[in-house]
Structure 1
Amino acid sequence: MLFCRSSISTHLNYRVRVWFQFTSSISSLKVVWRKDEKLDEAIENEKKWRLCARVVKEVLNEPGQVIPLRYLEKRRERMRLPLKVDTFLDRNPGLFDTYLDRIKPKSEPVRFIRVGERLQRFLEEEKRINRENEGLVVAKLCKLLMMAKDKVVSADKLVHVKREFGFPNDFMVSLVPKYPEYFRLVGCPGEGKSFLELVTWKPELAKSAIEESAEKESNLTGIRVRPSFNVKLPPGFFLKKEMREWIRDWMELPYVSPYEDASNLDQASPEMEKRTVGVFHELLSLSLFKRIPVPILGKFTEDYRFSNAFASVFTRHSGIFYVSLKGGIKTAMLREAYRGSELIDRDPLLKINDKFVEMLAEGHRERAEKLRLQRETVQKEMEMMALRNSEQGSYACGEEMQKIEDLDC
């Protein structure tokens, strides 16, 4: 009996110690941020095409998809375009056509730009890829609602993150109404008071990437694998002993699915920390590039029950996430999704981005060939001029020699 009481007491003391460790020191645990050049490179590699995408988006959002060139020039700062629009058009041929038109009936004609033939072909290809992957987009949208508190998310927020998850530009009007068995739109998007509700819970979608990975491994090995985060610290990364012990104990806690009801969890509990990490992991897994800017995630604090200090989770769990500072903005990245600077498993919707990059490359090759022909033409003209000058010099020299001979005579 004494032994039994002693064991119970020891176990309770351990539980109290661990609970105290989590609740009292979780906010004081600090991990020094360390630069990961390869993951930063993944963002840097897309810098050029993202710049082009911003300009394209600006024009496509205009009525009739046309805009006076000078108006676009005034928006350079907002688009973060470091060069003049004329220079941008010259360096990216085929994106837009220029033509003269009047802004007002009696005004002088000015230069306008409109969608070019090459860009139009890409937009048709984008529609085709979206149609082929409509089921994937619907599943992603369902999952975002299934993780949310009360299974409701602001429609305007979802529109704001459409590019992060690969949703079509007009998905609220072209896609959502097609699936009334899954979605209910309350209010009108754009007014700040519209919401998208989940109508039907889909059990087959209530599995996170972590759970699916564990299930896949269990099927391959025949051994039940417990869902767990993949901790992948970069080379040379060092954690203090206190932090290593904390992570070890935290990893031993049961995995909390982001699709489970979390309304009964205390915000400061280790279980809530486990769920928060799980939600972030799932959100990044659903995103196109397995990364999302931290300020964008912050917009969903209420929807997904994040604490106000949610950003500290990314540095506290540096073996799971990485926070890049590229472009002057914090971007949360999923470490396991990358091998060096390359994505391991590519989202099917990334075909759209690949087609966009191919379109830009086609224009760049066209420009390079044009510049090469111009250089060759200039070179030939210079050689012809040099030859003519040489011939004229020889002829003049001959005349001078003849004069000298005549004088000698």
Structure 2
Amino acid sequence: MPHPHHFILLRHFRRHYTTTSSSSSSVVSSINWVRDRALDHAVEKERDLKPMITLKNLIISQPSKTLPLSIIQDNKTSLNLPIRPIDFIRKYPSVFNEFFPSGISTIHPHVKLTDEIVSLDAEERVLFDTDVQKLDVANRLLKLLMIGRVNRIPLSVIDKLKWDLGLPNDYVQSVVPCFPDYFQVNGNDLELVCWSSDLAVSVMEIKGLSSFPVGYSRGFEVDKKFKKWVDDWQKLPYVSPYENLLSLEGKSGESDKWVVGLLHEVLHLLVPKKTEKDNLLVLGEYLGVRSRFKKALLEHPGIFYVSSKLHTHTVVLREAYKRDLLVTKPRHPVMTLRFSYLHLMNMVKEKNKSKKVDVVVAKKEKAKQDSNEGEVEGEGEGEEFSETESEEEIDDSDFEDVSDSDSDIEHVDNEKTPTKKTNFEDHENKNRNIRGRTSRSVKFHDSPRRNTPNSRSSENDGRRRGREKTRKNRFDEKTDSRNNQMSNDRGTRERNSPKSRSSRTESPSRKAHGRSSERPSVARTREGRF
């Protein structure tokens, strides 16, 4: 039962904040929900971790430490494999080995574990056998039993949270009997034996906080109405989640803050500080606050984030994460072990990625070396590729891996190229370098002949002849334009001369006589003037 001073304090605050809870529905309806990419990644990066460990435990439990693929196929639903078993096994070759046993005629392969995963499994077993880890598991179970003063929780509800609580699979046999003064199994329930006042202290009380840490996703718009409602709600008194306030009114702000504190403490008990929404609702249903858990998740996006990744809804405690990493220091040993599993699962991808990076770096160095040699050897205008490079085989993927930063070595000499260029010449000039430098942006043509390794020499010859022809055409065009300009100037001077003006007034008969008949007439006109 709650302490009497809680009722006195809550009765005092109920007078001032009755309007706060009544307007919460209208405030929440105006919330613009925003996706948090970092927290989504924190959920998504553990996509296959739990199915992998479940399958690993099944293989370890076999006497031969191997398992036929047909049995894995039959237990696909219980293993919760996201894809076909054979595809899941081949997806992680650093964890599983596929083989055909000798002396057995079968079409189905068998599966065994690699040495690295067997070593991690041995570390996991040693961890859960230590007294420190068993005490940590017992304290988590005890705090879960004391939350809300329920004092009894079905084992089926605890099994829903077993993975997130960091419990071993056999916690009923390996942990519960070691702490008879904490709890005991009574039928299908785990029952509290002795209340511990030292453990019945919430994280908020340890930190000395009365208002919850709040943070929002990038792009989340907090209007004045919503901010005022949150500030007023944060001023309500904080009641420990280890008290039972179910007798209070369900619509009061104080009761809502107690439910938020209850949910906040449960998430802090979990090792990854997150779990599926259905697991929390199952626990809330047993505690009698299922609908109020839903309301708390809806009204407080600054405290809880609900991710929709992995085809489910996962509740994440915001204050426990910075971007996609846990900020809890020191890190829990169970999470350290799980990160080792994740690193092993992604080891093949990291090796392939590192090999790809090495190939790209080697190609860059080779290209730079070839370009330097081309600057020394290719002094002629038409020598764009060296002989050794023209005989190399080219692949499209080689050029796709090269970064865009190499494009700054490409250059086109505008002074030596013609001003009028066809589309084909524009295309060729963009994809070439001058003075022996090789181009990293080579594009292959549809013609199979141009895709052959030895086609560069023929392309160079064609380009050289094309440049000579364009230079010659340019010179001819300049010569023709100069001659035309000179002829135009000559014609203009002749038209403006006195002879041309006098000839315009002559009759057509005189024009027919030609130049010889024009001279006497000019002489007679001159004599007439004098």
Q: 1:256: which partner in 2?
A: 239
The answer as to whether partners of 2:241 and 2:265 remain within 8 angstroms in 1 is yes
Structure 1 residues 42-51 or 30-39, which shifts more? 42-51
Note the C-alpha offset of 1:27: 4.1
The answer as to whether partners of 2:96 and 2:111 remain within 8 angstroms in 1 is no
Unaligned runs of at least 5 residues, structure 1: 1-11, 188-193, 215-225, 372-385, 387-409
Note the C-alpha offset of 1:275: 1.2
The answer as to whether partners of 1:95 and 1:117 remain within 8 angstroms in 2 is no
Note the C-alpha offset of 1:362: 5.3
Note the C-alpha offset of 1:61: 6.7
Alignment map for 1:253-292 (pairs within 5 Å): 253-292=236-275
The answer as to whether partners of 2:33 and 2:220 remain within 8 angstroms in 1 is no
Q: 1:85: which partner in 2?
A: 86
- Following the alignment from structure 1 to structure 2, what is the Cα–Cα distance between the partners of residues 111 and 165? 35
- Per the normalisation by structure 2, the TM-score is 0.57
Q: 2:111: which partner in 1?
A: 113
Q: Which structure would you say has the larger RCO, counting Cα contacts within 8 Å and 6 or more residues apart?
A: 1
Q: 1:125: which partner in 2?
A: 123
Note the C-alpha offset of 1:243: 2.3
Q: Relative to 1, partners in 2 of residues 1:17 and 1:201: Cα closer, same or farther, differing over 3 Å?
A: closer
- Following the alignment from structure 1 to structure 2, what is the Cα–Cα distance between the partners of residues 304 and 13? 27
Q: 2:202: which partner in 1?
A: 208
Note the C-alpha offset of 1:102: 10
* One-letter amino acid of the counterpart of residue 127, structure 1: R
Note the C-alpha offset of 1:344: 0.7
- Following the alignment from structure 2 to structure 1, what is the Cα–Cα distance between the partners of residues 228 and 282? 32
Q: Relative to 1, partners in 2 of residues 1:248 and 1:303: Cα closer, same or farther, differing over 3 Å?
A: same
Q: 2:288 aligns with which of 305, 313, 324?
A: 305
The answer as to whether partners of 1:321 and 1:332 remain within 8 angstroms in 2 is yes
Q: 1:141: which partner in 2?
A: 141
2:373 paired with 1:355: no
- Following the alignment from structure 1 to structure 2, what is the Cα–Cα distance between the partners of residues 317 and 90? 39
Deviations 1:242-269 (A, max 9, x none): 3222211110011111112324323222
Structure 1 residues 136-145 or 356-365, which shifts more? 356-365
Note the C-alpha offset of 1:211: 1.3
Q: Secondary structure at the match of 1:255?
A: coil
Q: Relative to 1, partners in 2 of residues 1:307 and 1:50: Cα closer, same or farther, differing over 3 Å?
A: closer
Note the C-alpha offset of 1:199: 0.8
Q: Relative to 1, partners in 2 of residues 1:260 and 1:63: Cα closer, same or farther, differing over 3 Å?
A: farther
Q: 2:20: which partner in 1?
A: 21
Structure 1 residues 56-65 or 229-238, which shifts more? 56-65
The answer as to whether partners of 2:282 and 2:290 remain within 8 angstroms in 1 is no
- Following the alignment from structure 1 to structure 2, what is the Cα–Cα distance between the partners of residues 230 and 113? 47
Q: Relative to 1, partners in 2 of residues 1:86 and 1:321: Cα closer, same or farther, differing over 3 Å?
A: closer
Q: Relative to 1, partners in 2 of residues 1:51 and 1:180: Cα closer, same or farther, differing over 3 Å?
A: closer
* One-letter amino acid of the counterpart of residue 111, structure 1: P
Q: Secondary structure at the match of 2:191?
A: strand
Q: Relative to 1, partners in 2 of residues 1:255 and 1:16: Cα closer, same or farther, differing over 3 Å?
A: closer
- Following the alignment from structure 1 to structure 2, what is the Cα–Cα distance between the partners of residues 367 and 38? 25
2:191 paired with 1:197: yes
- Following the alignment from structure 1 to structure 2, what is the Cα–Cα distance between the partners of residues 347 and 253? 33
- Following the alignment from structure 1 to structure 2, what is the Cα–Cα distance between the partners of residues 44 and 95? 22
Q: 2:311: which partner in 1?
A: 328
Alignment map for 1:36-185 (pairs within 5 Å): 36-50=36-50, 52-57=52-57, 59=59, 66-76=66-76, 79-83=80-84, 85=86, 88-89=89-90, 91-96=92-97, 98-100=99-101, 110-130=108-128, 131=130, 132-185=132-185
Q: Which has the larger radius of gyration?
A: 2
Q: Secondary structure at the match of 1:300?
A: helix
- Following the alignment from structure 2 to structure 1, what is the Cα–Cα distance between the partners of residues 344 and 17? 56
* One-letter amino acid of the counterpart of residue 300, structure 1: L
Q: Secondary structure at the match of 2:287?
A: coil
Q: Relative to 1, partners in 2 of residues 1:331 and 1:110: Cα closer, same or farther, differing over 3 Å?
A: closer
Q: Relative to 1, partners in 2 of residues 1:362 and 1:204: Cα closer, same or farther, differing over 3 Å?
A: same
Unaligned runs of at least 5 residues, structure 2: 1-10, 357-392, 394-530
- Following the alignment from structure 2 to structure 1, what is the Cα–Cα distance between the partners of residues 64 and 240? 46
* One-letter amino acid of the counterpart of residue 237, structure 2: P
Length, aligned pairs only: 341
Q: Secondary structure at the match of 1:254?
A: coil
Q: Secondary structure at the match of 1:204?
A: coil
Q: 1:6: which partner in 2?
A: none
Q: Once the two structures are aligned, what percentage of the paired residues are identical?
A: 28
- Following the alignment from structure 2 to structure 1, what is the Cα–Cα distance between the partners of residues 309 and 212? 26
Note the C-alpha offset of 1:110: 4.9
The answer as to whether partners of 2:240 and 2:258 remain within 8 angstroms in 1 is yes
Q: Relative to 1, partners in 2 of residues 1:50 and 1:21: Cα closer, same or farther, differing over 3 Å?
A: same
* One-letter amino acid of the counterpart of residue 135, structure 2: G
The answer as to whether partners of 2:66 and 2:112 remain within 8 angstroms in 1 is yes
- Following the alignment from structure 2 to structure 1, what is the Cα–Cα distance between the partners of residues 13 and 242? 30
Structure 1 residues 251-260 or 226-235, which shifts more? 226-235
The answer as to whether partners of 2:97 and 2:114 remain within 8 angstroms in 1 is yes
Q: Secondary structure at the match of 2:293?
A: coil
The answer as to whether partners of 1:100 and 1:112 remain within 8 angstroms in 2 is yes
* One-letter amino acid of the counterpart of residue 85, structure 1: I
The answer as to whether partners of 2:142 and 2:192 remain within 8 angstroms in 1 is yes
The answer as to whether partners of 1:91 and 1:364 remain within 8 angstroms in 2 is no
- Following the alignment from structure 2 to structure 1, what is the Cα–Cα distance between the partners of residues 318 and 255? 22
The answer as to whether partners of 1:227 and 1:255 remain within 8 angstroms in 2 is yes
Q: 2:435: which partner in 1?
A: none
